[in-house]
Structure 1
Amino acid sequence: MRMEDFGQQLRRLRARAGLSQEGLSHAAGVSIRALADMERGRTRGPQRRTVQVLAEALGLNDDEAANLEKAAALGRPRPRTATGPAAPAVLALPRDIQDFTARVPPLARLLEMAQDADPNRPMVAVVAGQPGLGKTAFAVHAAHRLAPHFPDGQFALDLHGMDPEPTTPRDALARLLGSMGVPDAAIPAGTDDRAGLWRSVVGDRRVLLLLDNAVDESQVSPLLPGIGPSLTIVTSRHSLAGLESVHRSDLALLRREEAVELLTRIIGSERVQAEAQAARDLADLCGHLPLAVRIAGQRLLSRPHERLGKLVARLAAEGRRLDGLQAGSLRVRAAFALSYRQLPPESRTFLRRASLAAGADFSPETGALLAGLPYDEAVARAEELTDAGLLQSDAATERYRFHDLLKLYAAEQIAVEDGPEIRDAALDRAARWMLRRATAAALHFDAEHDRTAPRDAPTPHDDPGPDGAPTGREEARTWLEAERAQWLAALRRAHVTGRHREVLDTAEAMHWFSDLNQHWEQWVEVFQLSVDSARSLGSRREEAVHLNYLAWAYNLCVADPHAALTSADAALVAARDCRDGLQGGWALGYGAGAVHRLGRSEEAHARLREAADCLALQDSPQARLAELTILNSLGTLLRQVGRAAEALDIHRRSERICRAGIPGRTDELITLYHAVARQQIGNDLAALERWDEAEPPLRQALAAFEASQMPAWAGPARLDLGQVLSATGHPDARETLLAARDALAALKSPRQAEAATSLAVLDEAAA
């Protein structure tokens, strides 16, 4: 009796099990089309893995499964007898790793794509990204999971994209054709002819092709099937953006918990549970990069008695981190070096110099300054490095970031290839430009600055940016916020290198801008640097000025009244030494704010009275502005200690000064001070329960702050207004309090809790 072929056996066994093709497809994870091809005899010899999952789904015993495998084996192409050393080997999939972790969404998308594929249209999936993301591990794991859908074979080919001489398309095609049983003598000589034959051979077959480590599109394109139900998975450190009609699997860094899970699968749950925090710290030090986590795990696995905390301590030292991330032949540094060595010289320079940038990300202009390149070329280099997987671009703005470990590697190359002199020159060049730009931008917010005076901004000749310095307040604000880490690093650099006048000029320009961003703790450092620079220059007047700025920062930005009082008292001494009544008045005012926060209200009251008297003796416009601030503070203190009527008199006095005007000061500036007085008048009236009278001045104050784009002042004013509206039962009360709470939370204001409480009280009363 003639033995049944594979298709006949499969059809008979499926019928015996009472399964439709759809039912067997669902049970085995093999597509309906693939089953139909097998049963019709179109696919005569599916791979062993496919036969195994079919046997399990059909519930076959060992003998039946063996007979099914035997029939499949008879239908498979017999391997050619090698005629010499050049005979190509079978391109089998690499071994799947047993501890593969995470990547569930991209894997699910690939599986879905394979199941829903058009039988006449070959599928191509590109897995690209930076070194160490586990692209090959993901692709191999996906290929093993997808294997049952491609019973005509699964083939893997390393294209050696990181080697000095990657595999040519011609050689790759010869290996692929050989793996499909084409004799050497039948393989054409030319690349185009080989590509045509390859497309012909694979056209009607359900095969899975893994092309690992591709260098570029020109290497990959000739290897892609033209028609048919195949799937090609391509991995590359480059984006391969030129490949059309492909599915892209963008692998991200692991989440912290996923990195810990990978570590657990490598070394076992017992060791991880025994040092749970050390495991989390280790994941963080590895930057959640799969390769780094695997190396750390393999290192620990080879040292079963070594504590995780010991490796954490070693990796915590940045200078030794890359040395610590190696286990046998696995080395993070080597993975980065492969990509780095392939770059053109100019791109290598840009990459390593960009590692000098401060903060989590950097702009092309910062990269241009550090690398000594024109702006447009810096953009081109940054984009090239992004395509190469060595930088990540921001989704919304033209900014770039390193992975932490890659940044360490790039910094190492500075020491090797540039040396300290070139490094210092790059840092100084960037710092000088950055401080000029920061100073010019900050002066947009200085209400006392002469807007018609020329500014020492970067000139078109030395400005690497496309449009020069910011031209308006909104543009200036955006730039100052985005480049905060860079200009602060530049300020530190100027201070360390003795450029104290630059430090003072920048800090002076910043003092109005700082009022808009009181939640930035960095102002303490800014003004401490400027105080130190004033002392280095021997300027007691500037020392007093910047000690006062520092006292303000301690009071409002970090809520440290002890440090604020120390700075204010030092400013008072310096002001008296140089007989500067203006700075003396400010110092008394800032000291009053500090002692009030320390609970010494009577002393605060006395200091404010003394400050007001001191400033009243001065006849300069600056003294009038300072007097307004002191009077507003004095009135606020009186209201807080239950003397609201006296506070109202004080704030009315401030309002009269504003209405009278201050010679030499703009209407815009006086309007701002007038708004502060109105806010305090509204609060005084509210404290006196004169609710209807309190609402108008608070609305006027809020409108003025919003018009002047002063969110740090508008947030508290909105809260004050919301509390008054709540007291009067106004329908806008809840909406106003909600907006105030959200704005104060964004500013990290201590009053956000007060806003939440007011909102809760209102909701409770309405319930």
Structure 2
Amino acid sequence: MRDGTLPTGDFGQRLRHLRARAGLSQEALSHAAGVSVRALADMERGRTRGPQRRTVQMLAEALGLDDDEAASLEKSAALGRPRPRTATGPAAPSALALPRDIQDFTARVPALARLLELAQDIEPSRPVVTVVTGQPGLGKTAFAVHAAHRLTPYFPDGQFALDLHGMDPEPTTPRDALARLLGAMGVTDAAIPVGTDDRAGLWRSMVGGRRVLLLLDNAVDESQVAPLLPGTGPSLTLVTSRHSLAGLESVHRCDLALLRREEAVELLTRIIGPDRVRAEAQAARDLADLCGYLPLAVRIAGQRLLSRPHERLGKLVARLAAEGRRLDGLQAGSLRVRAAFALSYRQLPPESRTFLRRASLAAGADFSPETGALLADLSYDDAVARAEELTDAGLLQSDAAAERYRFHDLLKLYAAEQVAAEDGPVIRDAALDRTARWMLRRATAAALHFDVEHARTSPYGDPDPDGAPTGREEARAWLEAERAQWLAALRRAHDSGHHRQVLDTAEAMHWFSDLNQHWEQWVEVFQRSADSARALGSGQEEAVHLNYLAWAYNLCVHDPHTALTTADAALVAARDCGDGLQEGWALGYGAGALHRLGRTEEAHARLREAARCLTSQDSPQARLAELTILNSLGSLLRQAGRTAEALDIHRRSERICREGIPGRPEELIALYHAVARQQIGNDLAALGRWTEAEPSLRQALAAFEAAQMPAWAGPARLDLGLVLRATGHPEARETLLAARDALAALSNPRRSEATTALAALEEAAARSIN
């Protein structure tokens, strides 16, 4: 091959070489291939390391490559593409797949035609955004989903759908939305950046240059949507919202209106069939009138008729008209829509009516049969049967992958009204209290699976041991799926004065929270638990939970100012009750906040004080805390150029690990020991003691691999590769290549460091040959 001397894995270098060989400027190649100049520049600089297959094919054609060269270029691009996550739970891409299209979709022909024109004329460097707006019940989501399916052939690089929950009390934050989008692109949880801006930057870099279709459903405002929009590339984004989102600039707008009368009749015809409509043509028109030509109302009426194939349309018209006269106005729409809801509701069996209205009390966007059963005071099997019945009637929507259900917004409002009308506050509060108690007991038992100090092999304390999660993976899946429910339960327990329950749940969550630092909810969890400790007059527990809260401010919401204030409060509480362990943690969390605020010397001083405080204690918890503090202190010292001091600190950490910590699992101590070895190896490398650094880094890497911790093994492999390069070791290139690929799969920022090291190694090899 003519370019065979180039490393097959480095796409940017290969592309730059091939363009130079062809005598083309970036502008000329951009014009010939239909790829933007910016996208080309990002590829050649290594910012975009894995363009999609279609983009590579266009570049290969424009460069005049033969089949072998084109295949080699594609292979190098494939190495840089994000790899799918390896978690055992549902894969993120399936969770963001387009919802199922509605086969009986009707009308909206001009709006669909306009979107098809936009997709056909889209420019390679200018993404298109269309905002679909209109009143509730107009079928904005149905239109956007139908349009997305029609547009799929124009966007072969991916189609993603994300519900932003704009009508919920707590809409999806841009930060969480970006995490889900990055997950759908194959980025693992550990590799997703911490800050919203960094997540947005990574998202835009990954979709730039790709033909991607993005559906953002149920947006609340411009600030929620803007960070999610691609910045460059031939993508198309559909945004649905009840609000106009007038602050979004350079977007196309599609304002849906009510159906025309004939369109409403056509929708009814597609649902129940032409024979029934022809047999009662006037009744069909009257039914469309009573539904106010609102698609949602027509669909509900049609679903009811479909489930009663022998019922005459005229009978439904008469009953709907009578119901409408008795109801007051609907604040979210017309009187006739309210009547359609009411008639469908009244026709349900009593248990199904109870289930529907009580399910509206569930927190979050969707709910499980488990939650519905608790709220309605039914067995689990009965709840499943009721939920499926309501789904068949068009009153609930079922999840495509999980056994979960959701309301349309208007129906949820209507069902909640029925709780007030039929159940009253006493029954409503009893249902919420019953559900909250159960949820907190299950959440506490599930979270204890992750507590290394109180590891459980059985569902201790679970309200339903037979149905409890049986291991960490099941426990994590439950805690994530039911996050809205147990958090709402925690709020209710706190607000109603059940402070011991709040503290027990938050304490159980403490280890689990480390696995989900991207959840901003931890601030609320630990704020409430600290308040509960204060209400109970427990100074020691207040110190503990203030420390947890300082951690959350530091790492979950990146607010070092409040983290420092909270850590200082924890320090006062710890000293007041004489708890040296919590005093050490408070000093450590305060040091972390000071470091983030740029107050380096103060951070060093606090870490040293924390180490002295913890060294004087004998408990196993103090030893683990001391290891964390020492490793943090040494790392900061090395960054400040005080490497000899850092090495002494990390040697001290290693000695503690070798001595062992009574009552703590060997595998846990082995991980702390591996961290210390990695730090020692980096200290020795910084001192130029390369041959001494190598064995420490090899040992650390082996330990991380044995523990199946790729997020820790990748950086350790890079550290080892840098040392091997410095010593001229023959394994250097292989190690750096493996590190680069592993870091790229994690979207770890250090992948650029690996790429630079590889390039320097190749350049040195070329000079030695010449």
CA-to-partner distance for each residue in 1:657-715, whole Å, 9 max, x for gaps? Answer: 112111122213222322332332343344345566556655654665566576xxx52
Deviation track 1:340-395 (CA, whole Å, cap 9, x = no partner) reads 22221111111111111111211111111111111111111111111111221111
Specify which structure has the bigger relative contact order, considering alpha-carbon pairs within 8 angstroms and separated by 6 or more residues.
2
Q: Where does structure 1 lack aligned partners over 5 or more consecutive residues?
A: 1-95, 111-131, 165-209, 224-233, 238-319, 461-466, 746-751
Mapped contact 1:442–1:513 kept (Cα < 8 A): yes
Compared CA separation, residues 345 and 581, structure 1 to 2 (3 A): same
Counterpart position of 1:528: 527
Corresponding residue for 1:323? Answer: 331
2:449 counterpart of 1:449: no
Q: Secondary structure at the match of 2:578?
A: coil
Corresponding residue pairs, total: 487
Match of 1:510 in 2: 509
Q: 2:278 aligns with which of 131, 150, 155?
A: 155
Residue 392 of structure 1 is matched in structure 2 by 397
Match of 2:718 in 1: 722
2:302 maps to which of 208, 213, 216 = 213
Distance (Å, rounded) in 2 between the aligned partners of 1:153 and 1:362: 36
Question: d(CA) in 2 for partners of 1:342 and 1:448?
Answer: 54
**Contact 1:97/1:137, CA 8 A, preserved across alignment:** no
Which has more radius of gyration? Answer: 1
1:162–1:338 Cα contact (<8 Å) kept: no
Q: Give deviations 1:381-411, integer Å, cap 9, x for gaps.
A: 1111111112211111111122222222221
2:409 to 401, 404, 408: 404
Q: In the superposition, relative to structure 1, how do residues 357 and 735 fare at CA in structure 2: closer, same or farther (>3 Å)?
A: farther
Give distance in 2, aligned partners of 1:537 and 1:142: 60
Q: What is the SS of the residue equivalent to 1:359?
A: coil
Q: For 1:561-580, what aligned pairs fall within 5 Å after superposition?
A: 561-580=560-579
The yes-or-no answer on 1:646 pairing with 2:735 is: no
1:415 Cα offset (Å): 1.1
| TM-score (norm. length: structure 1) | 0.57
The CA distance in 2 between the partners of 1:571 and 1:526, in whole Å, is 16
Question: 1:358 aligned to 2:399?
Answer: no
Distance in 2 between the 1:737 and 1:143 partners?
Answer: 58
TM superposition shift of 1:542: 0.3
Please tell me whether the aligned partners of residues 514 and 523 of structure 1 are also in contact (alpha carbons under 8 angstroms): yes
1:474 partnered with 2:473: yes
**2:736 aligned residue (726, 730, 733):** 733
Residue 213 of structure 1: how far off its partner (Å):
2.6
Kept after mapping to 2: 8 A contact 1:160/1:214 = no
Say whether 1:615 aligns with 2:614: yes
Aligned: 1:425 with 2:430: yes
In the aligned structure 2, how far is the partner of 1:575 from the partner of 1:588?
Answer: 10
What CA RMSD, in Å, does the superposition of the two structures yield over aligned residues? Answer: 4.1
Instruction: Check if 1:557 corresponds to 2:556.
Output: yes
Q: Once the two structures are aligned, what percentage of the paired residues are identical?
A: 70
Distance 2:369 2:264 in 1: 33
Corresponding position of 2:600: 601
Q: 2:753 is matched with which residue?
A: 758
TM-superposition CA deviations, 1:510-558 (whole Å, max 9, x none): 1111111111111111111110000000000000001111111111111
Query: Retained in 2: the 8 A contact 1:159–1:214?
Result: no
SS at match of 2:460: coil
- Residue 546 (structure 1) aligns with: 545
Q: Which residue in the other structure is 2:443 paired with? A: 438
- Counterparts in 2 of 1:756 and 1:135: CA distance versus 1, 3 Å: farther
373, 378, 396: which one aligns with 1:373? 378
Structure 2 CA distance for partners of 1:211 and 1:324, relative to 1, 3 Å: closer
Residues 169-225 of structure 1, C-alpha deviation per residue, up to 9 Å, x if partnerless? xxxxxxxxxxxxxxxxxxxxxxxxxxxxxxxxxxxxxxxxx99836466754999xx
| Aligned residue in 2 for 1:681 | 680
Alignment-mate amino acid for residue 753 of structure 2: S
Q: SS where residue 662 of structure 2 aligns?
A: coil
Contact 1:648/1:685, CA 8 A, preserved across alignment: yes
* 1:652 CA displacement: 2.0
- Confirm or deny: 8 A CA contact 2:459 2:469 kept in the other structure: no
Q: How does 1:195-210 map to 2 (within 5 A)?
A: none
- The alignment partner of 1:731 has SS state of helix
> Structure 1's 426 and 613: CA in aligned 2 closer, same or farther, altered over 3 A?
same
C-alpha distance 457-380 of structure 1, shift in aligned 2 (>3 A): same
Distance 1:692 1:554, change over 3 A: farther
Give 1:312's aligned residue: none
CA distance in 1, matches of 2:149, 2:451: 54
Q: Is the alpha carbon distance of 1:343 and 1:221 closer, same or farther for their aligned partners in structure 2, counting shifts above 3 Å?
A: closer
Deviation sequence 1:304-357 (CA, Å, 0-9, x none) = xxxxxxxxxxxxxxxx9951423xx6x443333232222211111111111111
Structure 2 match to 1:495: 494
Structure 2, unmatched stretches of 5+, are 1-105, 113-142, 151-256, 288-298, 317-327, 726-731, 764-770
Is the alpha carbon distance of 1:325 and 1:763 closer, same or farther for their aligned partners in structure 2, counting shifts above 3 Å? farther
Match of 1:660 in 2: 659
Q: Identify the residue that residue 581 of structure 2 maps to in structure 1.
A: 582
Measure how far apart 1:612 and its partner are: 0.8
Q: CA deviation at 1:623?
A: 1.1
SS in structure 1 at match of 2:378: coil
Given that 2:265 and 2:284 are in contact with CA atoms closer than 8 Å, whether structure 1 keeps it comes out as no
In the alignment, which residue of structure 1 is the partner of 2:156? none
Q: Which residue of 1 aligns with 2:628?
A: 629
Paired with 2:285 and 2:366, the residues of 1 have a C-alpha distance of: 27
What letter matches 2:468 in structure 1? A
